[in-house]
Structure 1
Amino acid sequence: MINQSIAFTKPWQVEVQEGTFAAPALAADEVVVKKLYTLISPGTELACLSGNESWFGMPGTPGYASVSEIVETVGDERRWNRGDIVFHYGDHSRYQVVSTRGTFLEVPAGLDLRWVPFTRMATVAFTSVRVSNIELGDAVSVTGLGLIGNMAAQLAQLQGADVIGMDLSAERRRIAEICGLFETYDSSLGEGKARVAEWTGGVGVSTHIEATGLSKVAADSLGWIARSGELILLGSPRGAHNADLTDVLNYCHLNDRGCITFKGAHEWRFPVEPDPFVKHSMVRNSRIVFDLMQRGKLKIEPLISHVLKPEEAPSAYEGLRFDKDRYHGVLFDWRQ
């Protein structure tokens, strides 16, 4: 079989490579899959492409959000069969040997296969509401309405919150509104504190979800969080930011400043597989996302900006880097 894969060969260089795929002897918990669609994770993959992520070695194949068809199993593996359609954390390649343990799930019948890889981004966003104290009727703000922030805002609304989404991009705000976000704000105008005060009658939000990964945005948001509220750090902070740390820490310490709780919302804080002693897991969250998609409660279609051939990978990453308004939810179609 001829395999095709997307490779980051050096900083800011993307290549599409071809070679012969020969699967090794499979273990009982391994299968060979043929990708149908894979989704680019813009924040993580651009960080890898920059060469600044120490865990990602170059040359290397990025990607961790896939829907695939099983094309080979071992004889004594009874659970999975050739032709099964599965969601898993696969990379940007046509064929791959993958483990059936962990987040390797059969796709429900009738679910749009283009939506399935977005489950990965949705479970990342899910962590923000899982760690929060959001309850019915709470006021919540979200900074950054890319894929993760958009879905975090949708999930916070499903949790019963009134949500205001903030972003510099008019296009991202428009997409968020199509996805059902009732209140958005142009953060390029500044004065986020004044806008939130107006929206909440001067109280502030009880929960703020920071999805940009920009440290300055997180620090600025402290001014509009209500006393005894919480700041959820959903976006992974990248890049230096010089600030007075004492002033920031006073917000989480002094009651007259806010007494704010900071919470990290990295997805790996939960176990991958269900555990009888832990309520949440990544597998459980993924299944809930499937259900929300099928029932039309989590909107995915407006998030898809491009469905491209693997050969178009260099232009896809260029678009995500330099044309963020038009490139956001980019899928590779491996079916041909």
Structure 2
Amino acid sequence: MKQLIQNFKTGDLYVDDVPVPSISQNTVLVENKFSLISAGTERGTVKVGKANLIGKARQRPDLVAQVLQNVKKEGLKATLNKVKTKLDSLKALGYSTSGVVRASMDSNGKFKPGDRVACAGQDYASHAEIVNIPQNLVAKIPDNVSFEDASYTTLGAIALQGVRQAETRLGDKVCVIGLGLLGQLTIQLLKANGCQIFGIDLSNDLVKLAQENGADNALNRADSNLKSTLSTFTDGHGFDSIIITAATPSNDPIELSAEITRKKGKVIVVGAVKMDIPRDPDFYRKELDLRMSCSYGPGRYDINYEENGNDYPYAYVRYTEQRNMETFLALLSSGKISIKHLTTHSFVISEALKAYDIILGKTEEPHIGILLEYPDSNKATSQITTIQKAQAKNYQVGFIGAGSFAQSYLIPNVKNLNTTLNTVVTSKGISGKSVAQKFNFLKASTNPDDVLTNKDIQTVFIATPHNSHAKYTINALNENKNVFVEKPLAMTINELNDVKHAYQNSTGKLMVGYNRRFSSLASKIKDEIKSSLEPKVVNIRVNAGFLEKEHWIQNPNVGGGRIIGEICHFVDLAQFFTGSKPVNVSAVSINSENAELTPNDNINITITFQNGSIANIMYLANGDKSLPKELIEVFCGGKVGRILDFRSGYLHSGNKIQKLKLSGKGHKEEVTNFIEVLNSKESELISFESLYLTTLTTFKIHDALTTGMPQTINL
């Protein structure tokens, strides 16, 4: 299918063929008919992409701060590799479309193939022939509303939420500052609500359009008569509310709003403007109410609502994102809102670059609403795209899942070995094509079967969300393929036993991504203590950091929580150092009334092993980032090995300290070991018994917390 793409590294814009996205639970697959270019927002997005590295940094200081923090945690080299991976990616544009449902997996059975729908969401409702949309970001189009008009729905919902925040009443006098597309829609909504409206903008053309669009009056910001006209319009009292729909780095909209609002009036910020709030004289002395309007409405940026498909109760949250979309469509249907005069241009998707020449100022044409049309979207069916012709190497490898972790730590290390990167599978076609081009895969796909049933692919790497690990591992083993799956191996005991059954009946080899045991530091310390027959004592302290409850890892149905999803790393590491099987585990977590905390994220675990060794794992989310993340200590036979964040290590023996000049968490070594095993070289996989026991132990940790009793671990 065709999709508009921006290369975020170079800034280049182009239309390219990418695989059709895959449908998933709680989503709706839609054939686009039209999509709306939001000129202000997308102009800014494209300009960020076209800026050089320094320009990008200036426009995103929040990301610069994250980079600096990552340097402290992982070092300069690892951080630079991450930054390069992020920059060298393809970006989808657009967030407001209309089309026809091709297939639906919405949990309510609300949408059926053939339904006419409007769609919303950045990275979802993109400028592409086919899009896959979360169910709460889809709304049915009334029969008398055209696809062209319905493609404005997302912008209409944003404008509507701004009006709702203003809590306007019949007869209120409202000023709209910024008369672009969002401002024009806001004027119509206010008019339908019985308000008296004054518009302000820097463009005479937009001022004129606002007057044609229903504004009672409108003036240019630079008009010398502006202040006196505003005073006359409000009878000297000031406006009941101001809605700022402008997009500017200037603080003028905020300052002007404060000056022209009545006492105890409201200032609503919808657009992206500077917000240096002057306390005196107006905000303080008038007791002004300053409010932010959050995009399409309640539900925005809430993973449980947008991605997991959980709606808010109708009685308690009357207008959500989806219900705002439905309301806007109803207003279009009733004729209270009209879009016809707002559309200035329309291009087929293959000519999309002409539209962006206009919004970027390369082609000087007056514009406001620009549509992209998809006349052949129903012909787009392929979920796989060929990138290059095959090469002859020992092993052909496929990847299912290729997020930032896989791109930083797995794919580059596999690529450097004697392998052919055959096919990469992602849920979105644009991300799959981005990864395929970046790392020289032969093909990109959105269908896992293109890897699982491909006879040329002997080895599968699985780096998807945790809840799909067991499923894809079982399917790959059933095809007798070798499998490298990121942790965890499974999320339930039934899944784990199903993996066990598949492994026992397969000729394929299995590895789980427990990289720490393969690190140079861990290997060195293991070599120093392996000759001792004494039991070992392993202390592991993990300053993991806080993770909000909305994070996907915390979702029990997706990530499984941090015990299953992360602590498994350290259970495996303890097995590695002790060289023995875990037989018993006890655990205790903090008890807090703070609703933001997840008590099980702050936990102390004690594991006893068959050979008499013990391991203490203290996993903490309530620490400080200035403290190194991981401290591992191994005591045995008068020796102590210490690892500090896998960036340095020490051996204590004979009253002397030896500094180990080694570093790294073992990602490269683990992948190399795995591929060497497949090439029958002298390397060793983690035994399946050990993999099984690690996952089983994480389940038993949960049982220990629930019962307050130690738990026995056995096969």
Q: Is TM more than 0.5 here?
A: yes
AA matched with 2:6: F
> Aligned partners of 1:192, 1:48: CA distance in 2, in Å?
32
Kindly state the Cα deviation for residue 310 of structure 1 after the two structures are TM-superposed. Answer: 1.6
Tell which deviates more after alignment, 317-326 or 3-12: 317-326
Secondary structure at the aligned position of 2:284 is classed as: coil
> Aligned partners of 1:128, 1:95: CA distance in 2, in Å?
30
State the match for 2:333 in structure 1. Answer: 294
Q: Residue deviations 1:152-205, cap 9 Å, x none?
A: 122122222110111222222232223222211122325532220122222211
State the match for 1:91 in structure 2. Answer: 126
> Aligned partners of 2:98, 2:296: CA distance in 1, in Å?
21
- How many matched pairs? 323
Q: Residue deviations 1:225-278, cap 9 Å, x none?
A: 11221111111226xx8x7x5x44542222xxx221111112255136442322
Kindly state the Cα deviation for residue 109 of structure 1 after the two structures are TM-superposed. Answer: 1.0
State the match for 2:655 in structure 1. Answer: none
Contact 2:170 2:194 in 1 (8 A): yes
State the match for 2:16 in structure 1. Answer: 17
State the match for 1:48 in structure 2. Answer: 45
Q: Percent identity, aligned pairs only?
A: 20
- TM-score in terms of structure 1 length: 0.86
Provide structure 2 residue ranges, at least 5 long, that are not aligned to the other structure. Answer: 49-55, 64-85, 300-304, 306-310, 377-715
Q: 1:161 to 1:9 in 2, by over 3 A?
A: same
State the match for 1:330 in structure 2. Answer: 370
Q: Residue deviations 1:253-308, cap 9 Å, x none?
A: 22xxx221111112255136442322221222111111111111112111111111
State the match for 2:190 in structure 1. Answer: 156
Q: Where do 1:166-205 residues align within 5 Å?
A: 166-205=200-239
Q: Are residues 1:306 and 2:345 paired?
A: yes
> Aligned partners of 1:23, 1:187: CA distance in 2, in Å?
45
Secondary structure at the aligned position of 2:146 is classed as: coil
Secondary structure at the aligned position of 2:262 is classed as: strand
State the match for 1:6 in structure 2. Answer: 4
State the match for 2:266 in structure 1. Answer: 230
Q: 1:295 to 1:23 in 2, by over 3 A?
A: closer
AA matched with 1:223: E
Kindly state the Cα deviation for residue 221 of structure 1 after the two structures are TM-superposed. Answer: 2.5
Kindly state the Cα deviation for residue 86 of structure 1 after the two structures are TM-superposed. Answer: 1.3
State the match for 1:319 in structure 2. Answer: 358
AA matched with 2:35: T
> Aligned partners of 1:229, 1:30: CA distance in 2, in Å?
41
Contact 1:169 1:325 in 2 (8 A): no
Q: 1:187 to 1:86 in 2, by over 3 A?
A: same
Aligned-residue CA RMSD (Å): 2.7
> Aligned partners of 1:141, 1:130: CA distance in 2, in Å?
15
> Aligned partners of 1:83, 1:148: CA distance in 2, in Å?
30
Structure 1 outlier segments of 4+, above 6 Å? none
Tell which deviates more after alignment, 169-178 or 126-135: 169-178
Q: 1:235 to 1:302 in 2, by over 3 A?
A: same
Contact 2:253 2:273 in 1 (8 A): no
> Aligned partners of 1:59, 1:251: CA distance in 2, in Å?
46
AA matched with 2:213: C
Q: Residue deviations 1:96-145, cap 9 Å, x none?
A: 2333x202122111211100011111110111221113211221111111
Q: Where do 1:73-92 residues align within 5 Å?
A: 73=104, 79-89=110-120, 90-92=125-127
> Aligned partners of 1:313, 1:219: CA distance in 2, in Å?
38
Contact 1:145 1:211 in 2 (8 A): yes
> Aligned partners of 1:97, 1:311: CA distance in 2, in Å?
20
Q: 1:277 to 1:331 in 2, by over 3 A?
A: same
Contact 1:8 1:59 in 2 (8 A): yes
AA matched with 2:370: V
AA matched with 1:80: F
State the match for 1:63 in structure 2. Answer: 94
State the match for 1:282 in structure 2. Answer: 321
Tell which deviates more after alignment, 268-277 or 287-296: 268-277
Secondary structure at the aligned position of 2:166 is classed as: coil
Q: 1:4 to 1:250 in 2, by over 3 A?
A: same
Secondary structure at the aligned position of 2:272 is classed as: coil
State the match for 1:220 in structure 2. Answer: 256
State the match for 2:567 in structure 1. Answer: none
Q: 1:31 to 1:224 in 2, by over 3 A?
A: closer
AA matched with 1:259: E
Q: 1:80 to 1:136 in 2, by over 3 A?
A: closer
State the match for 1:144 in structure 2. Answer: 178
Secondary structure at the aligned position of 1:280 is classed as: coil
Q: 1:265 to 1:249 in 2, by over 3 A?
A: farther
Kindly state the Cα deviation for residue 84 of structure 1 after the two structures are TM-superposed. Answer: 2.0
Q: 1:60 to 1:85 in 2, by over 3 A?
A: same
> Aligned partners of 1:303, 1:187: CA distance in 2, in Å?
22
> Aligned partners of 2:351, 2:338: CA distance in 1, in Å?
26
Q: 1:78 to 1:154 in 2, by over 3 A?
A: closer
Provide structure 1 residue ranges, at least 5 long, that are not aligned to the other structure. Answer: none
Residue of 103, 107, 111 corresponding to 2:145: 111
> Aligned partners of 2:144, 2:322: CA distance in 1, in Å?
20
Contact 1:193 1:221 in 2 (8 A): no
> Aligned partners of 1:266, 1:80: CA distance in 2, in Å?
26
Secondary structure at the aligned position of 1:131 is classed as: helix
